[in-house]
Amino acid sequence: MKVGIINVTGYAGMELARILRRHPEVEIASATGRSLAGRRLGEVFPHLSECDIEITSDITESVDFVFSALPHAASAERLEPFIAQGVKTVDVSADFRLKDLDEYTYWYKIDHPCPQFMETAVYGLPELHRDEIAQTRLVGNPGCYPSAAVLALAPAVQAGIIEPDIVVDAKSGVSGAGRGGSVALNFSEVNENFKAYNLDGHRHHPEIVQELDAIGQSDGLRLTFLTHLAPMTRGILVSCYAPLKPGALPSGEAGKDSVREIYQSRYADEPFANVVPLPPQTKHTSGNNDCAIHATIDLRADRLIAIACLDNLVKGAAGAAVQNMNVMCGFDETAGLDQLALYP
Amino acid sequence: MKVGIINVTGYAGMELARILRRHPEVEIASATGRSLAGRRLGEVFPHLSECDIEITSDITESVDFVFSALPHAASAERLEPFIAQGVKTVDVSADFRLKDLDEYTYWYKIDHPCPQFMETAVYGLPELHRDEIAQTRLVGNPGCYPSAAVLALAPAVQAGIIEPDIVVDAKSGVSGAGRGGSVALNFSEVNENFKAYNLDGHRHHPEIVQELDAIGQSDGLRLTFLTHLAPMTRGILVSCYAPLKPGALPSGEAGKDSVREIYQSRYADEPFANVVPLPPQTKHTSGNNDCAIHATIDLRADRLIAIACLDNLVKGAAGAAVQNMNVMCGFDETAGLDQLALYP
Amino acid sequence: MKVGIINVTGYAGMELARILRRHPEVEIASATGRSLAGRRLGEVFPHLSECDIEITSDITESVDFVFSALPHAASAERLEPFIAQGVKTVDVSADFRLKDLDEYTYWYKIDHPCPQFMETAVYGLPELHRDEIAQTRLVGNPGCYPSAAVLALAPAVQAGIIEPDIVVDAKSGVSGAGRGGSVALNFSEVNENFKAYNLDGHRHHPEIVQELDAIGQSDGLRLTFLTHLAPMTRGILVSCYAPLKPGALPSGEAGKDSVREIYQSRYADEPFANVVPLPPQTKHTSGNNDCAIHATIDLRADRLIAIACLDNLVKGAAGAAVQNMNVMCGFDETAGLDQLALYP
Amino acid sequence: MKVGIINVTGYAGMELARILRRHPEVEIASATGRSLAGRRLGEVFPHLSECDIEITSDITESVDFVFSALPHAASAERLEPFIAQGVKTVDVSADFRLKDLDEYTYWYKIDHPCPQFMETAVYGLPELHRDEIAQTRLVGNPGCYPSAAVLALAPAVQAGIIEPDIVVDAKSGVSGAGRGGSVALNFSEVNENFKAYNLDGHRHHPEIVQELDAIGQSDGLRLTFLTHLAPMTRGILVSCYAPLKPGALPSGEAGKDSVREIYQSRYADEPFANVVPLPPQTKHTSGNNDCAIHATIDLRADRLIAIACLDNLVKGAAGAAVQNMNVMCGFDETAGLDQLALYP
């Protein structure tokens, strides 16, 4: 199958190229990148040296599948003709994640470039929407933070064991901010430093609410979602907190066991959502498509603690996009995604 | 004034030496360290090369003030004779922080080596206990996490604007784990990695409860305190969350202003508790004794967000110990502590 | 083919497991590790969670191929019975690298545990010894530093364009020091730090001399080899300097072109020795088996500058070991080694 | 004394403010920074929060001393009126380092903005030019690399024990590249990465040659100077190699002793050039004005190895500038520079 990558020159795009290059079912037929158009992909990015194709301004080949790794708005605009022609697409940007156009406008502060496709788009978390993904031509790939937060919380929300009053304290590596050049991303500013940012709200907030509200038993999730920048390149870890619903679980250690069973059973058949016995570490998922999840109870406060981590560029972006492609195209869901994490 | 440092060879001890070396009122007269006894301090630690004293097994000189940077239990044991003789002491370990002996026994799983002094000891957070510190001979220096968490939350608790239902999500650099050699602290294991630890409870938990309960209007704080390890050497950042008490604050942006004023007014005269207008970054306190604090409201969830950061080895350990000494001895509280943060 | 890994619990052993797990021709049948014997491999190392075998004290299965990732001396001892039985083996330790027993004794300060096999062992750098490797049953896998240094210098030495008077300034990430627990490897000691070490000589010195002397036109290489520790987990970069032989190359830019051609032509058919047009970066080889090499001339000083970098745990250890196995067993030399570098 | 800082908003300028703020003899009267003009210094840089002055476009106060931390060319231009008026100045840029105008033009590829002052300027390395610095009104502050390289090599060159054939392999932290925003400085590109750069020559090359030729016994130093970027914020370490002059030193260990004595005796009275018994580590100088130096012999190759490290923003920039000011103004040379290194 011939695939095209729009904007191969950002981190998500590069990572798509890295993963697709080893995918048994596809060939990268075309890859775009405005500022580097005309140069060879493998020359610009030495780790892709064997990808001997030219970066172009537009998708030049006829392709069967398109990934867009452009920023929002630009992404939907460039994808529109492909969607209209019926080419299957995964949009890694935020353009097709939200169901509610007003929410999109509120958070992204622009008019959506092609709202006509918002309804047909499917939110690309196979762990929640596998069947719909298998039948759609347009997937909105989840944000990196929501991928972790929703997977961390979905079992508890679905099982109805927590109050709809959640704190998600999220920590991300720097690559989540993209391959840009700004003082704030300068190594000297970030290294040996830790900070919270976006205290008035992060654009990934409505995704988490949308997905958890859809599976929960009550509307109107009261969510505090605070993001932090950690001095590392890859990795997201979310620590989620919510009061237990009184009486929903046995008390004491038995409650912990019960939580563990709820989580294990929920994800028993999932190839990339792994419930792990010990608190996970971001480096355990470095370079692979796993989301590692651990849930327990703070018995002193009767509060659920659910932790999830993943590689923001893989399960949080390019890997999830390939997983979605696999589901959309009927390939083995794990095709191209079998790399073990690089540790240490 | 002649001071002695017990266990100068750990990070807190080394940091005490670094700070005291530039203190205008004191001289380091004696410094102990079992494994390195017999060697020159400046030879073992090149950054202290001008400290030309011998590391000994015991405090050898007659001293007017003693710091202990030993681990708990060992610390109280070694301090006991000094306390008994009426020498002023600051214990950097956990031995004299808790008022409740049962709590100590529960969390540290040992019998307290000299419980007779627990009651007379003062919890060494001058921002809460300045007057008592000025009059005691024995200070239990706060843990690094509680220093940040209590300073982040005290104004809100005292003002009665939050429910006693708090989540403290804490992130620490690696030096908090000490100058040990273990696989878990090996650079290769920690770098590019982020993890939560001690999900069943951290020993600093009861300190936070003790201090906040003492100033709050209700007993029985429901606290979830979760600690994380970040890939950096120095720095602690705590993100604290609590539901606002209904009606306690004006709604909307005015509520945020109100929170800001409560915090600014609470710490207006504090030299080392700085309420900052933007979310603080750990590196802004690297090497100095500041605790930078920022509080706001998540208007979507009616929840207080209070963030504090500090250098775990300075305001979280050695700097606070020197601040306590200054208060105990009637020196200028900032003496020896005027170093600006090293940034970047 | 059934393979066994002796000492799977160090970094080289773990990395062997990671690579072999995806090797199309082999199955990990047995893996040893004294301190963790009895536990499941995937339980101890979460990134290997799908490796569902038990760690044992000794190789328990009948295997067709054995890797040893033990430290020197212990390695030869444990390999001896396998070698004697004719099982093919790659020793990742230093025991079978040196041809000269006296050199071994001098540098490692012990008697060699089974000197009878030293002569039959082949130095496992396929780029220099492919044919011998294909015919031997025992390969001594090169040290991480020599892999880089020899590949960086071999073309110049073979072409006779430099004087036998070489400086190799080598920089390594911390994982080269192994999965140990010592204060010197503590994150807090290594991060934001850079140092030289082993100024009186590093054990990898004689390997470099042995290999370069064997291909050079003069004996008695005058080599200065200085190692440094860089604050990163993976990666080695060597910067090599040698005076040009007068008249051996055209002057000026033409000389640079000539050097480039010598290098490109030397490694034209090599899958893992890549001559790159720009100075290489360690992260361009992170997690893969490439050695990236760049050579040029300092025209001001008529000196060759040759730079090489590689991932010390892959091409510098486990990847090279698998490459050697592939050659020894007649597999495709790149089998199991096709992973692209993880960047960024 | 009232001092002005031109371009306080780069790393060298910020560091000048940090150091001068604690200098007992001076007051920062004015500080410029084009892009941030109009804002308070302490507001823009929280670690300087107590510096309550406004950043302006030009030096607004009448000042007795001016530091410029602008880039070259712009620096000389802005300093010219002050120099002309006889105000004492230290230029942290490269404009007044080189004696030879042609060398300046060759390396910086521009015409010098005020060549009339080049001759009167003194190269600001007090360890070599203390008396001239004490008598000049214009100091060209050394580059960060040359500070380390010249201090590492000067004793050997002056003593005539090495051939004029030197390799300087230099490693720098990222802050040396300044407080800029570019993809190449993005944390994700630099972290876990090591690379050489400027293989065709670095602008600090002619400074090293100028200073060593001036004290050596032969002209025409054959210098290879190669720079590398290490994944850390602060710190430079140079490893210098040169063949010993035959017969200049006793052979064997006695030669090493002799080298040590030459170095120790050369720097015996220097407050900031410290000959250390063990190979130095960059973190031992983090935040202070020391240059730590260690010299020995590679007995296998009869080659001098001299290693020096320093904090590139302190002894490599702002600290050296203050040291120069102290010498120029007759203050204690160590005034304001007594901070101990921050370790770990």
Q: What is the pLDDT of residue B220?
A: 86
Q: For residue C342, give how far its alpha carbon lies from the nearest alpha carbon of chain A (Å).
A: 7
Grade residue A334 by pLDDT with cuts at 50, 70 and 90: very high
**Taking CA atoms, what residue in B is nearest to D342?**
B287
Mutate which of C224, C299, C313 to test chain D, going by most D C-beta atoms within 10 A?
A: C224
Confidence band for A217, pLDDT divided at 50, 70 and 90: confident
Helices (H) and strands (E) in chain D, counts: 10, 14
Residues D116, D124: Cα–Cα separation, whole Å: 18
pLDDT (tens digit per residue) in B5-58:
999 999 999 999 999 999 999 999 999 998 999 999 999 999 999 999 999 999
- Touching D (3+ Cβ pairs <8 A), the chains are A, B, C
Question: Sign of torsion, CA B209 B210 B215 B217?
Answer: positive
φ, ψ (nearest 5 deg) of residue D226? -120, 130
**Is the pLDDT reported for residue C174 higher than 90?**
yes
**D189-198 per-position pLDDT tens digit:** 999 999 999 9
Q: Is the pTM of this model over 0.95?
A: yes
- pLDDT (tens digit, 9 = 90+) per residue, A80-104? 999 999 999 999 999 999 999 999 9
A2-141+315-329 and A145-313 agree in CATH topology:
no
User: For residue range C118-149, what is the model confidence (pLDDT) as tens digits?
Assistant: 999 999 999 999 999 999 999 999 999 999 99
More confident residue, C233 or C61: C233
Residue D220: what pLDDT?
86
Optimal mutation site among A174, A187, A311, interface D, most CBs of chain D within 10 A: A187
Percent of chain D with pLDDT over 70: 100
Helix boundaries (H) for chain B: 11-20, 41-44, 74-85, 101-108, 126-135, 144-159, 187-190, 205-215, 253-266, 319-329
Whether residues B186 and C191 touch (CB distance < 8 A) is answered with no
pLDDT in tens, C282-325: 999 999 999 999 999 999 999 999 999 999 999 999 999 999 99
Taking only the tens place, the pLDDT of each residue in B70-110 is: 999 999 999 999 999 999 999 999 999 999 999 999 999 99
pLDDT tens-digit profile of A299-323?
A: 999 999 999 999 999 999 999 999 9
What's the helix, strand, coil split of chain B in %, to 5? 35, 25, 40
Residue extents of the structural domains in chain D: 2-141+315-329, 145-313
Do C271 and C292 meet the contact criterion of CB atoms below 8 Å apart?
Answer: no
- Tokens 């200049």 locate to D248
Please say if the pLDDT value at position A178 is more than 90: yes
Q: What is the pLDDT of residues C88-117, one digit of tens each?
A: 999 999 999 999 999 999 999 999 999 999
pLDDT-derived band of residue C170, with 50, 70 and 90 as boundaries?
Answer: very high
Q: Encoding tokens for residue C239?
A: 């910067």
Rg for chain B, CA atoms, rounded: 20
Helix (H) or strand (E) holding C167: strand C165-172
pLDDT at A170 over 90: yes
pLDDT digits (tens, 9 = 90+) for D201-231: 999 999 999 999 999 988 789 999 999 999 9
**Could you report the per-residue pLDDT of D98-151, keeping only the tens digit for each?**
999 999 999 999 999 999 999 999 999 999 999 999 999 999 999 999 999 999
DSSP helix/strand/coil, D215: helix
Q: Cα torsion for A252, A256, A259, A264, to the nearest 10°? A: -150
D53 in helix, strand or coil? coil
Q: Between the CA of residue D279 and those of B46, C197, C264, what are the distances in Å?
A: 11, 7, 37
What CATH code is assigned to C2-141+315-329? 3.40.50.720
- What is the rounded average pLDDT of the residues A340-344? 97
pLDDT score recorded for residue B341: 98
pLDDT digits (tens, 9 = 90+) for C12-30: 999 999 999 999 999 999 9
Minimal CA separation from B23 to chain A, in Å:
27
Consecutive H or E run containing C99: none
Task: Verify whether the Cβ–Cβ distance B194 to A237 is below 8 Å.
Answer: yes
* Cβ neighbours around D159 below 10 Å, total: 20
Q: Could you tell me which chain D residue has the CA closest to the CA of B17?
A: D340
Cβ-nearest to B340 among D47, D277, D344: D47
Instruction: Assign D166 to helix, strand or coil.
Output: strand
Asked if D185 and D175 count as a contact pair (C-beta separation under 8 A), the reply is no
Query: Looking at residues B160-177, what average pLDDT do you find?
Result: 98
**What stretch of H or E contains A75?**
helix A74-85
C-alpha closest to that of A182 among A218, A246, A229: A229
What was the pLDDT predicted at B217?
Answer: 86
The predicted pLDDT at position B95 comes to: 98
How confident is the model over C215-273, as pLDDT tens digits?
Answer: 998 878 999 999 999 999 999 999 999 999 999 999 999 999 999 999 999 999 999 99
Residues of chain B found within 8 Å of residue A168, distances taken between Cβ atoms: none
pLDDT of residue C217: 86
Confidence bin at A151 (pLDDT 50/70/90)? very high
Q: What separation in angstroms does the CA of C92 have from each of B57, C8, C202, D87?
A: 44, 12, 17, 65
Task: Please answer whether residues A121 and A98 qualify as being in contact, where contact means their C-beta atoms are separated by less than 8 angstroms.
Answer: no
In chain B, which residues have their Cβ closer than 8 Å to the Cβ of C190?
187
Closest CA–CA distance from residue D116 to any residue of chain A (Å) = 36
Separation between Cα atoms, residue C279 and residue C293, nearest integer Å: 8
CB pairs under 8 A between A and B: 158
Q: Which residues in chain A are closer than 8 Å to B195, comparing Cβ atoms?
A: 237, 279-282, 309
The pLDDT of residue A201 is 98
**pLDDT value for D146:** 98
Helices in chain C by DSSP H: which ranges?
11-20, 41-44, 74-85, 101-108, 126-135, 144-159, 187-190, 205-215, 253-266, 319-329
CB atoms within 10 A of CB A271: 16
Whether the link from the prior residue into C344 is cis, omega within 30° of 0, is: yes
CB < 8 Å to D188, chain C: 344
Q: For residue range B227-251, what is the model confidence (pLDDT) as tens digits?
A: 999 999 999 999 999 999 999 999 9
pLDDT at residue C284 in the model = 97
Give the pLDDT band (50/70/90) at residue C87: very high
Query: DSSP letter string over B37-56?
Result: TTSBHHHHSGGGTT---BEE
Report pLDDT for C27.
Answer: 97
Spell out where chain A has E strands: 2-6, 27-32, 55-56, 65-68, 88-91, 122-123, 138-140, 165-172, 195-197, 222-229, 236-243, 273-275, 291-298, 303-310
Architecture category of domain D145-313 in CATH = 2-Layer Sandwich (3.30)
- What Rg value do the Cα atoms of chain C yield, rounded? 20
Binding-site residues on chain A for chain C (CB distance < 8 A): 11, 14, 18, 21-22, 43, 45-50, 175, 179, 191-192, 233-234, 274, 276-278, 280-281, 283-288, 292, 338-344
Query: Where would I find the H helices in C160-220?
Result: 187-190, 205-215
**Which residue from A22, A47, A341 is facing C343, i.e. has the nearest CB?**
A47
Angle, alpha carbons A31-A35-A41 (nearest 5°): 40
